[in-house]
Amino acid sequence: MMSGKPKLLILSASLLIERILLFTNFTDELEKDFEITIWATSYKDEGLKELWDRKFKNVQQFPEFKPLKYFPHSLLRRINERAWDLRYKPACRISFYEIRRKYQIPAHLKLLYNFFGGMISGLHMEKKFENWLNNKLFLTYKRSPETEERLKTYSPDLVLSMGYYWTEDQALNSYFINKKIPVIAYTTSWDNVFTNSRFLFNYDAYIVWNDQMKKHVDWFFPQTRNVKVYAPGAPQFDILYREDFRTTREQFCEENGLDPKLPIVMYATGSPNMWDESETIMYLAKKVSEGYFGEVNYLVRPHPMFDAKNLLKRFEKYPGRLVIQKTSDPSGFGKNRNLNEEATRNWANTFYQVDVVVNMSSTSAIDAALLDKPVVNIDFDSSEGGLDTRYIKELNHVWEHFKPVAEGGGLWLVKDFDELALAVKSYLKDPSLHREKRREMAEFIANNMDGKSGERLAAVVKEIHGNIKKENQK
């Protein structure tokens, strides 16, 4: 039976998006005004399927799609990205290219990218070239026949693409744009403006976390100047404020094999695709086992998209309360993993219960700061040979998204093992150190600390739909 409400289609292709859709009040607010359908990559997972169906009336598996052909699509896309990088020189992208990317690209392709990208950039033709790519190549490339079939019987009034820079959403968005169905582009994480591939297509509105991201989008993606860009905050952090998700310290410690009477020092890992953090993790394990910090628990929290199996064997040499936390279902990999309700509750309670967080330039620094937990950030490479020293230094002191955090005074940036040990010990003794700056850091990135970003995001979607409706009536 039709509700009479406008139809909103939401695309979900990552566990980071699932957190927002399943565990915040974002969609509860939207359902007051929209008839919601969700296409989710995790719907095929039996554990998540039940959760999806319990919360929403209409959820379907994400449509099948074909990967981009290398020639001409991916080749021309890489040339386009190189042209924009050479023209605008975003610090993050230039840094990553010089440190990593140029050594991963075959020599003949590197020559192609640099020659044609340099020529396009030198002639200031990057905008025209990108428009041609979007309109003549990517919008006409039919990568998902299943999407085409679905749209014969279902026509949404609005699409919310929550991963518009990922290949999954891009494969589908061309169909909506060709059918003149409005699409809102939602930016999932604070680094996505620069660290992902350039946006394909032009969208009807853009949503980011904060004002810094708005400035970055305006500068590096001129097409966004023709539409409105909103910054309602980061709704995934709303979960940290959910009282009904919180357990007692005793229950949390029992579930994670920790002693509730002792402080908890946690190392939160980032992506292992970036660098090896194992030596730093093991250094802290050694200091904990030696009693340097007094009697404490030591918890290692792997990034939810990856494992820390390589550390399990090494932990055996240190007796005591050293625990590697299970953060997600290990049957999947990368963003194809999922976070069920138990894992999501554990994530929220982890940051609520820990006493000091150690990390290397990850979103865990913000998770912790939002709950006023002291943050130690690594500013050196502990791996053998220190091959990633420049990479780590530039991420902390050059990359646009993390430099203000690393240098803002809200965390303790440590330059070696001795300072790392000192920082952890100092924070255990006095967690109020850097508190004011820590709060400023959290507000700067998350844009607020009230747990209501989901409500604001829903209001933005409603506003965008209302504006589009008015334009169509003119």
* DSSP class of 47: H
Task: Clarify whether residues 202 and 76 are in a common domain.
Answer: no
Task: Clarify whether residues 55 and 15 are in a common domain.
Answer: yes
Closest CA to 171 of 135, 143, 151: 143
Task: Clarify whether residues 313 and 441 are in a common domain.
Answer: yes
Task: Clarify whether residues 171 and 306 are in a common domain.
Answer: no
* 179, part of any domain: yes
Task: Mark which of 88, 115, 138 sits at the end of a domain.
Answer: 138
Based on the structure, what is the number of domains in the chain?
3
Task: Clarify whether residues 133 and 145 are in a common domain.
Answer: no
* 55, part of any domain: yes
Task: Clarify whether residues 45 and 85 are in a common domain.
Answer: no
Residue burial 53-72, b: 16+ Cβ < 10 Å; e: rest:
eeebeebeebbebeebeeee
Task: Clarify whether residues 442 and 337 are in a common domain.
Answer: yes
What residues contact 336, with CB distance under 8 A and at least 6 apart?
A: 41, 42
* 112, part of any domain: yes
* 1, part of any domain: no
* 105, part of any domain: yes
Task: Clarify whether residues 439 and 397 are in a common domain.
Answer: yes
For the chain, how are helix, strand and coil distributed in percent, rounded to 5? 55, 10, 35
Flag residues of the chain having pLDDT under 50. 1, 330, 332-336
Residue 306 sits in a domain whose CATH number is: 3.40.50.2000
* 20, part of any domain: yes
Task: Clarify whether residues 133 and 274 are in a common domain.
Answer: no
Say what the pLDDT of residue 326 is.
78
In three-state secondary structure terms, 323 is: strand
In three-state secondary structure terms, 51 is: helix
Task: Clarify whether residues 90 and 215 are in a common domain.
Answer: no
Instruction: Name the phi and psi angles at 470, rounded to 5.
Output: -65, -40
Task: Mark which of 88, 113, 138 sits at the end of a domain.
Answer: 138
Cα torsion through 14, 165, 210, 459, rounded to 10: -70
* Beta partners for residue 414, in sequence order: 378
Quote the tokens at residue 221: 């993606």
Task: Mark which of 105, 138, 171 sits at the end of a domain.
Answer: 138
Say what the pLDDT of residue 69 is.
93
Domain that holds residue 111: 70-138
* 218, part of any domain: yes
pTM beyond 0.75, yes or no: yes
Task: Clarify whether residues 207 and 311 are in a common domain.
Answer: no
* 2, part of any domain: no
Task: Clarify whether residues 430 and 340 are in a common domain.
Answer: yes
